[in-house]
Amino acid sequence: MKKLIVANWKMNPSSLAEAGRMLSAFAKITVPKNTEAVVCPPFPYLVAAHKAFHGTRYALGAQNAFWETAGAFTGEVSPAMLRSAGVDYVLIGHSERRKFLGETDEEIAKKVRASLDADLRVILCVGEPAAVRQKGIAAARKFVLKQLGNFFSLPKDDLARLTVAYEPIWAISTMGGKPAGDSPESAGDIAVQIKEFLSLRAKAETGSDGSVRVLYGGSVNSKNAPSFLRESAIDGVLVGGASLHANEFKKILGGGF
């Protein structure tokens, strides 16, 4: 399976002009054949990104979507609107949204459902806070599987369009993460648990595994990306800070994993 490398620009850069410069630099980078690359800029830059990536192997991602299809929901953006702007992927439930906007597991479940219904591919973000991880890897595993509880009964077709990004909150750069982030081995261990958990029902029904992909995120850069990408249970990386620099992103894409 191709490795999936996702750039999460978060609330950057600060102007459309700067976004245009970044998009041109990214569009010049050749995405290797063994890799799928997704860039998730802020909403106001999506249309420019769609144009800039025309004819390249980049897919376009958004950083959030609402659960309703249309109507009086001031400030919200529907999955169908994103789809019509050329968006393929959407990040749902990022820990910064859980923390600063108070997004709950229930709201996140509704957003995932609506996004899948609108034919978007969903990257669902999960991950434990530092206080949980201090209790050990078993506590982290339990926390993450609880966050995934609402998705246990997703049918196989939905699982095929769902990617889970495991991002331990304490490893994210803006949350005080260290450059090395989590260890590839423990990230791989959690990735295995996530896959087993989500494929249980599909397995019972069809006898085969659901094909949910799992990414690792948290202070990923060009130096540590290959060690995460070499873990067999890790299907890609979600990159924040380092994805703001075209050169760094190019090195991650061409990292020889």
Active centre residues (catalytic):
94, 167
**The one-letter amino acid at 80:** A
**Nearer residue to ligand PGA within complex by CB, 41 or 217:** 217
Site membership for ligand PGA, residue 218 (CB under 6 A): yes
Q: Would you say 144 and 186 are in contact if contact means Cβ atoms under 8 Å apart?
A: no
Size, binding site for ligand PGA by CB under 6 A = 15
CB of 139 vs ligand PGA, minimal distance in Å: 21
Q: Exactly one of 42, 217, 236, 255 binds ligand PGA (CB under 6 A); which one? A: 217
- Where in 207-250 does DSSP place strands (E)? 213-217, 236-239
Which segment (14-22, 43-51, 171-179, 228-236) binds ligand PGA by CB under 6 A? 171-179
Q: What is the rounded CA–CA span in Å between residue 181 and residue 215?
A: 14
> According to DSSP H, which parts of the chain are helical?
16-27, 46-52, 79-84, 95-100, 105-117, 130-133, 137-147, 156-159, 184-206, 225-229, 246-253
Site membership for ligand PGA, residue 177 (CB under 6 A): yes
Site membership for ligand PGA, residue 169 (CB under 6 A): no
Q: Exactly one of 4, 239, 252, 253 binds ligand PGA (CB under 6 A); which one? A: 239
Q: With the CA atoms of 199, 99, 41 and 83 taken in that order, what torsion angle do they form, in degrees rounded to the nearest 10?
A: 50
Which segment (27-35, 155-163, 190-198, 234-242) binds ligand PGA by CB under 6 A? 234-242
Q: Where is 136: in which H helix or E strand?
A: none
Q: What is the rounded CA–CA span in Å between residue 105 and residue 111?
A: 10
Taking residues 37 to 76 in sequence order and writing x for each that binds ligand PGA by CB under 6 A, - otherwise, the string is: ----------------------------------------
Query: Which residues bind to ligand PGA, rule: CB under 6 A?
Result: 8, 167, 172-174, 177, 217-220, 238-242
